[in-house]
Amino acid sequence: MITIDLAKPEDLEELTLEARGDNHPVCLPSYVIRKNERISGYISFVTAMHGWLHTKRIRPIETFRTVFPAIDDIARNQGDKHLFYLTGRESNLTPFAERIGFKHIGDTVLFGKQL
């Protein structure tokens, strides 16, 4: 039987060990998935940021001094504690993301759907 429950602090150690054993990182788990009472996965629900900034009108320095701090404030005002920054390898901002506080988690293929 598969169950999905809110992640609790006491789940983190076992979750990390199980995920590592399956060659997978753990990143901000919101819910823990169990099969036959054994941790078998997790789901994260966090705010993800993705957008477009005109490459000729908005300079990188403006992005870092004005746009990103405003985005942080918006997320905080919504009660968010974490923020994902989704970007492409070709973005002019990608090389600077870690300098402004983002941690590189990994590369992924992104899917979306309207609910």
Q: How confident is the model at residue 16 (pLDDT cuts 50, 70, 90)?
A: very high
> What Rg, from alpha-carbon coordinates, does the chain have?
17
Q: Which pLDDT does position 107 carry in this prediction?
A: 80
pLDDT exceeds cutoff 90 at 110 = no
Sequential DSSP letters for the chain: -EEEEE--GGGHHHHHHHHHHTT----S-SEEEEETTEEEEEE---EEE-----TTTS-HHHIIIIIHHHHHHHHHHTT-S-EEE---TT-TTGGGGGGGTPPP-----------
pLDDT exceeds cutoff 80 at 108 = no
Prediction pTM value? 0.66
Q: Residues 39-54: what's their mean pLDDT?
A: 88
Determine what percent of the chain is predicted with pLDDT higher than 70.
100
pLDDT digits (tens, 9 = 90+) for 60-74: 889 889 998 999 999
